[in-house]
Structure 1
Amino acid sequence: MPHPNDPALRSFIPVDPASDFPIQNLPYGVFSAKDGLAPRVGVAIGDYVLDLWELEQDCRLPVTDLRIFSASTLNPFMALGPKAWSATRARISELLRHDNPELRENPELRARALVPMAQVTLHMPIAVSGYTDFYSSREHATNVGVMFRGKDNALQPNWLHMPIGYNGRASTVVVSGTKVRRPRGQLKPPTAEAPSFGPCRRLDFELEMGVVVGQPSPMGEMLSEAQAEAMIFGFVLLNDWSARDIQQWEYVPLGPFQAKAFATSISPWVVTREALEPFRLQGPVQEPVPLPYLRQARPNNYDLELDVALRAADMNDGLRICRTNFKYMYWSSVQQLVHHASSGCAMNVGDLLGSGTISGPEKDQRGSLLEISWNGTEPIELAGGIKRTFLEDGDSLVMRGWCQGDGYRVGFGEVEGTIVAAE
């Protein structure tokens, strides 16, 4: 049987070459339709959602517990482990192949199991157990360091020795399309003698990827590179909204708190680690060489294109303001997970790790408005003479990501969020 990543595979469902969801992808999500059934697990294929609950009821999948795909999150499926993940993806690929009549020639099952994407509502794909955000793009960290500490002291002494991160809030991770209310907090501009409380004035986005942890690790134990990789179920697009002015006042001495706690948006489709396998590549050279527990024997970065479009309230269409690539990340997702567990920290099914802002070496590859506007000193121009340094009420931001194959792309869809005024 052909491998699900085989570029020659074709589905009996027509899929545009520019679609994010060919048969080589098969990302998982949670959806509901107009049939009145509760949210359940599906897979994206072209312009359709394949209802895995319907397939399992018909005994077409290797998973025998009907509660797995009728669940409102992917957590029960992820808990089954990598062998079940791989077997299920292979079986779905087999059912969708253009030369397999099993589903193609079963009109009754097709009608039940294939739901037009335009007729579904997409929900949070996972129940987030815990959320950790990292700071792993050297270009981003350098840009921010130059702004606030000068060129000679851009990177802190520890940055090149370990992935820097902080524990965020799982309670405010939301799915794409959820409106984001402008946060309030303590503000103290440099010219003010005392802080005040009010709406954030320097609201920003952060272009990131999210790692979805699909297997647990026990408290008190470390992870090897291979163990950490095997625990990763897949990836989502992630926008870690950021209140720059709240953070500026609060972050000393313990780092981000309320400035990052109000919202983190993720895409509804989880692209599996297995689907990204053809796009692996070596990351940047790490100098100095990391300590032994962080050294990598395999290439753990991905050639994954990313872009960001901003649409102001008075604009009809968004304007691309960033185009970069996940391959630039200095610390890989595997290294982040290894480091996270290195103290003995237990990891859970449904943990979410934010990669940190993804910026590249060029000016148009900066993954935040803080960098794009250089801390508000270089406004960007949108359509109709509209300018932005940070986000205003009514602004909408859309992030997209994809890996380009030979005649197909493995994509993530999008993560969108619109800013609404503070109460």
Structure 2
Amino acid sequence: MTDAIETIRIMGEAARVAARQLALAPTLLKATAVRGAAAAVRANAATILAANAEDMAAAGGLGAAMLDRLLLTPARVEAMAAGLDTVAGLADPVGQLINEWQQPNGLRFERVRVPLGVIGIIYESRPNVTADAGALCLMAGNACILRGGSEAARSNRSIHAALVEGVVAAGLPATAIQLVGDLDRALVGAMLTAAGLIDIIVPRGGKGLVARVQAEARVPVLAHLDGLNHIYVDKAADPAKALAIVINSKLRRTGVCGAMETLLIDRAYPAAAELVTALQAAGCDVRGDGRIVALTGIPAVEAADWDTEWLDARASVALVDGVDAALAHIEAHGSHHTDAIVTEDDAIAARFLSEVDSAIVLHNASTQFADGGEFGFGAEIGISTGRLHARGPVALEGLTTYKYRVYGDGQVRA
């Protein structure tokens, strides 16, 4: 563990030096670095894909959802590069004036956005996080230390090399984006206790990873928790919209955190059986409560199913007594991530959007839009389900804090 602590100390000290430079870097310079990283990703696409192929070949034992998260294709590599270009074109939050006012004594106050400093990001499976996290941290004026999962080690190293190529070509330090290449788990522990070197930790992965980070961290944590996401199909739902939204939410990509896990259907909705049948026909293993079992004959859920993030082609379904019952179920079993309502009744929709306490709530749209890119953020570090600092897709603004600037003219306090 001593070697791990020393490794992270060296990386952390280098990151703090880089962070001071990044905090003062003009927008154009940061954008040039990120665009250069995008160009390097495209230029090195073959190398990145070859590294990913090695990771996929060594990934025996991973489930289908995890393999899908790990897999890179030419289209996904291009989407990664396009995301970097988008991030480079976003408004720079650093130095943004949030508020200003003046007191009767003549003191003038400003609250302005500033970078967080050094961000540690610990993540699993998805190699695109390497690119997203590195670009977002840099554009928000932060240095970062990345530690990906062993299953994506080769992919992460190849993507990181492309990022550094763009950063250095722009004249910024290579230590602005560092990757922990050693897969020793002790290095994760060293990151979690690196108070004074790392300002905030962002875990992005399964329950086990997040639980470890929250239990061991001695620095603040911005948590990305389970996506126990619900869709409530109201009695006033348009059947065509309901069918398309439910199928897309569950099955477009089952392994993403925005996938629907539980479908709640108003017992007065006339086409409940059709929704279940459509899910089954699309390859989904559907389990239901007593009422939906009686209606359709599908297998019954177990109690734990309501609290399980499947990240697979499986869903739990319940018939509920209107919006009140739907709200109660979501409150009891949801993870405050993403929940949606399908209805043509604007009053019911407004109530749902107001009362569901989740980071993202949608009306007549797929839960798969729970993604920073779809919000226009270019990319995201993750989706925060907490209530402090940042919530929902965490992008540039979520990677800043603020300070107060006070302007006087000789005032002293009585």
Q: Shorter-chain TM-score: which interval?
A: under 0.3
Which protein has the larger Cα radius of gyration, Structure 1 or Structure 2?
Answer: 2
Return the structure number with greater helix share.
2
Return the structure number with greater strand share.
1
